[in-house]
Amino acid sequence: MKNKFDKIDESLDIEPTQVVKDVVVDEFKSIQKIDKTSPLDSYDEDFQYTRGNLYSLIEKAQQAVNEVLEVAQQSDSPRAYEVVFQGIKHAADVTDKLIDLQQKMKKLNESGTKSPTTVNNTLFVGSTAELQKLLKQEFSDDK
């Protein structure tokens, strides 16, 4: 099946390729490959991907803050300390986003499994005589 980009591929004399992006989940673990042509089909996959990215951002922010703090201590410049505080604020914001992600995922998981357990409104369809018989039967069964 030909698509609209086949003519471009032919004119440039190249083979069409699939777009793949390398994502580092953790510096000490292997690199995970994600196919950009197919969407992620699960909330859990999205959650794990986002969680890994947030962890990576937090680690990098902490490392950057430590390095900038050393520079600030050596230069004794107010601007350098301002950059340190901005880095700390950024790391704290990303940490807050991680907690928000956890809470959202927890709500998502709970909403799918919860069913109503309390019935507040009940309706009896019948005559008053039938209702009295039903109530007498209930009271006599409880004794």
At residue 10, φ and ψ (nearest 5 deg) are -65, -40
Mean pLDDT of all residues in 71-82: 89
Torsion of Cα atoms, 6 then 7 then 12 then 15, to 10° = 20
pTM: 0.48
Give the pLDDT band of residue 30 (cuts 50, 70, 90). Answer: very low
**Do residues 106 and 121 make contact, with C-beta atoms less than 8 angstroms apart?**
no
End-to-end CA distance of the chain: 78
- The first and second tokens of residue 23, run together, are 């994502």
> DSSP label at 92?
H
Which of 4-8, 11-15, 16-20, 47-51 has maximum average pLDDT? 47-51
Give the C-alpha distances (Å, rounded to integers) separating 96 from 61, 74, 99: 14, 31, 5
**Domain segments of the chain: what residues?**
6-115
Work out the mean pLDDT of the chain and round it to a whole number.
76
